[in-house]
């Protein structure tokens, strides 16, 4: 399998997505400065603009692609790209995302379909072909005549220095995003890609950590930017423009949910105003403030410091699937052995849970539940199991979920579980599967709904589904459930230990 390639994607005419190799994009900013028209040049040269003292040509990409030019909106962007020894601006409507693409996802355009001006070199297929990205061949962006006109008169030896961001000491690139009306910047070197938020698993929700998503076999913990960056208790309000910035901080992958991506901007060290703050607290994660002539203020962040208090928990979530690739190879057979060692019964109670198979005695259905006066809580009655009275625990009530609309009991299945403390009948929605699983992970912090039962959910396994996807499944500690949560009146246990 070939190496993944990183692409930055941009929007034209509201729906067409253009992909450019990310290593060719120097920055992408709001088009706030005036573009000076140049009479007599090629029609797709929009004009020239000043970029920190340098005169940069700007290309109207719609005209270059022979698209209907219905103009650009007030919030359009300019992506500055390297064309050999030349730095050039490209007009786009918006920044879409930054994503990693495997070689097999790229399809070249047949030579017979290419004209003489073959500026689009290939197609990236995503989401089973529902999303198509056109790859722009920057080497062919300018025809020879246009390149001669644009380069003429420029000091060629100095242009590569600008394209590379002057020098590492003088200039750094920042990805600028919005979070509840404020603009922030993170160092591009920390950014792995930008994507949309989908498939969030909120099982491990805690503090500013919203949960986790799986991205190409890796579990990525997700942080809410508003909870992280401010003292507010409200979560960020997402729209269609909302994005997740995937960062690599201290060798830990994590995602930050933001309202929108604004630009990629090169920032000279002399432009950054220091922000005084204490050594403790969120302010310590602010690297400085960038004041722009347009009146915008961008707070530049040091994400390693900003996430310092979260890194341990982020690492616990992220490490849950660091060996997932190896685990998948070991479990390719998906053998559902009825061997109790290292095996788990997986069942559904709103979401998937599991218990160690050696704790399972049997599974019953359509049982007659005998109510017990004043039992209450999560205990719903008892089952007469061949002359032994076994208490019934509604796991929906135990974990704080609402009862099913259909009333529940008539369709429930009952897992008879046992430990040294006794037996219990667990009312579950459905049985999913039995899976052999050699490895398990310590459970990270849980969301507020499950947190009161943390002592019964101390480990997590990865369920490999029939679609070859992975899902984090919480394992119920039967010993703790029975020993710590099932007592009646004073200190008298409900159980008489079974022989």
* pLDDT value for 421: 78
To which H or E segment does residue 396 belong? helix 395-398
- Between CA 419 and CA 39 the distance in angstroms is 86
DSSP 286-305: EEEEEE-TTS-EEEEE-HHH
pLDDT tens-place values along the chain, 499 residues long: 568 899 999 999 888 899 999 999 999 988 877 888 877 778 888 888 888 778 889 999 988 888 876 778 778 899 999 987 788 999 999 999 999 999 999 988 776 566 566 788 889 998 877 889 999 999 888 765 555 555 554 443 333 333 333 343 468 899 999 998 899 999 999 999 998 888 788 887 887 888 888 887 788 999 999 888 887 778 887 777 789 999 999 889 999 999 999 999 988 888 888 877 545 455 568 888 998 877 889 999 999 988 988 888 888 887 765 544 444 444 443 433 344 567 899 999 989 999 998 899 999 887 888 887 766 689 988 898 887 888 999 999 999 998 877 655 456 799 999 988 789 999 999 998 888 776 788 888 888 889 999 999 989 988 876 666 778 899 999 999 998 888 643 333 444 333 3
Report CA 40 to chain centroid distance, whole Å: 48
Q: Name beta bridge partners: 297.
A: 291
Diameter of the chain measured on Cα atoms: 98
- On whether the CB atoms of residues 446 and 393 are closer than 8 A, the answer is no
Report the half-sphere exposure of 330 (CA within 13 A, side-chain side).
12
Q: What are 444's two structure tokens?
A: 């990270």
Kindly report the number of other CB atoms within 10 A of residue 302's CB atom: 17
| 224-261 confidence digits (pLDDT tens) | 998 888 877 788 877 777 899 999 998 899 999 999 99
- On whether the CB atoms of residues 101 and 4 are closer than 8 A, the answer is yes
* pLDDT value for 111: 64
Report CA 183 to chain centroid distance, whole Å: 20
**What CA dihedral angle connects 449, 452, 454 and 455, to 10 degrees?**
-150
Residue 350: Cβ-neighbour burial (10 angstroms; 0-12, 13-18, 19+):
middle
Listed residue (336, 361, 327, 330) closest to 440, CA to CA? 327
- Between CA 276 and CA 87 the distance in angstroms is 36
The conformation of residue 3, written as its DSSP 8-state character, comes to P
- On whether the CB atoms of residues 381 and 369 are closer than 8 A, the answer is yes
* pLDDT value for 414: 94
* pLDDT value for 205: 83
* pLDDT value for 293: 78
Q: Which runs of E-coded beta strand occur in 54-180?
A: 54-60, 77-83, 86-92, 94-101, 106-108, 120-126, 131-136, 171-179
Kindly report the number of other CB atoms within 10 A of residue 121's CB atom: 17
* pLDDT value for 6: 93
* pLDDT value for 142: 78
Question: Which residue in the block uniquely carries the two structure tokens 């986790």?
Answer: 212
Any long-range contacts for 365-374 (C-beta under 8 Å, 24+ apart)? 365/412, 365/413, 365/414, 366/410, 367/414, 367/425, 369/409
What phi and psi values does residue 173 have, to the nearest 5 degrees?
-95, 135
Which domains does the chain carry?
5-163 (2.40.50.180), 171-319 (2.40.50.180), 326-485 (2.40.50.180)
Report the half-sphere exposure of 450 (CA within 13 A, side-chain side).
24
Q: Name beta bridge partners: 223.
A: 209, 256
Q: What are 251's two structure tokens?
A: 């060798």
């Amino acid at each position: 399998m070939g190496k993944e390639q990183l692409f930055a994607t941009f929007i034209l005419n509201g729906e067409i997505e253009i992909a450019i190799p990310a290593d060719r994009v120097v920055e992408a900013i709001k088009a706030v400065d005036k573009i000076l028209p140049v009479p007599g040049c090629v029609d797709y040269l929009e004009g020239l603009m000043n970029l920190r003292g340098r005169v940069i040509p700007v290309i109207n990409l719609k005209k270059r692609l022979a698209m209907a030019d219905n103009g650009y909106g007030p919030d359009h962007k300019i992506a500055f790209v390297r064309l050999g020894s030349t730095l050039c601006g490209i007009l786009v409507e918006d920044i879409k995302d930054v994503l990693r693409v495997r070689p097999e996802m790229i399809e070249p355009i047949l030579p017979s379909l290419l004209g003489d001006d073959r500026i689009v070199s290939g197609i990236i297929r995503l989401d089973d072909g529902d999303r198509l990205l056109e790859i722009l061949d920057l080497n062919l962006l300018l025809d020879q005549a246009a390149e001669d006109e644009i380069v003429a008169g420029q000091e060629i030896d100095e242009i590569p220095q600008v394209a590379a961001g002057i020098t590492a000491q003088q200039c750094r690139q920042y990805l600028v995003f919005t979070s509840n009306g404020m603009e922030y910047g993170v160092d591009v070197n920390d950014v792995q890609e930008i994507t949309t938020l989908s498939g969030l698993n909120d099982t491990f929700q805690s503090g500013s950590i919203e949960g986790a998503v799986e991205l190409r076999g890796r579990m990525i913990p997700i942080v809410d930017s508003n909870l992280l960056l401010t003292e507010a208790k409200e979560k960020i309000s997402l729209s269609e423009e909302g994005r997740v910035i995937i960062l690599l901080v201290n060798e830990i992958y994590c995602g930050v949910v933001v309202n929108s991506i604004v630009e990629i901007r090169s920032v000279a060290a002399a432009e950054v105003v220091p922000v005084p703050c204490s050594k403790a607290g969120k302010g310590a994660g602010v690297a400085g403030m960038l004041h722009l002539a347009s009146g915008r203020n961008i707070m530049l962040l040091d994400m390693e410091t900003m996430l310092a208090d979260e890194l341990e928990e982020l690492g616990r979530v992220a490490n849950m699937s660091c060996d997932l690739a190896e685990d998948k190879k070991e479990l390719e057979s998906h053998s559902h052995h009825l061997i109790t060692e290292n095996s788990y019964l997986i069942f559904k109670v709103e979401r998937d849970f599991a218990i160690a198979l050696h704790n399972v005695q049997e599974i019953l259905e359509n049982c007659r539940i005998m109510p017990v006066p004043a039992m209450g809580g999560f205990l719903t009655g008892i089952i007469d199991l061949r002359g032994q009275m076994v208490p019934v625990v509604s796991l929906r009530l135990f974990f704080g979920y609402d009862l099913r609309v259909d009333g529940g009991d008539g369709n429930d299945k009952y897992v008879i579980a046992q430990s040294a403390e006794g037996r219990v009948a667990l009312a579950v929605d459905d049985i999913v599967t039995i899976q052999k699983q050699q490895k398990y992970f310590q459970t990270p912090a849980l969301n507020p709904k499950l947190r009161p039962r943390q002592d019964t959910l101390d480990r997590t396994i990865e369920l490999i589904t029939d679609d070859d996807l992975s899902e984090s499944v919480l394992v119920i500690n039967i010993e703790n459930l029975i020993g710590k949560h099932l007592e009646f009146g004073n200190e008298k246990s409900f159980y008489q230990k079974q022989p």
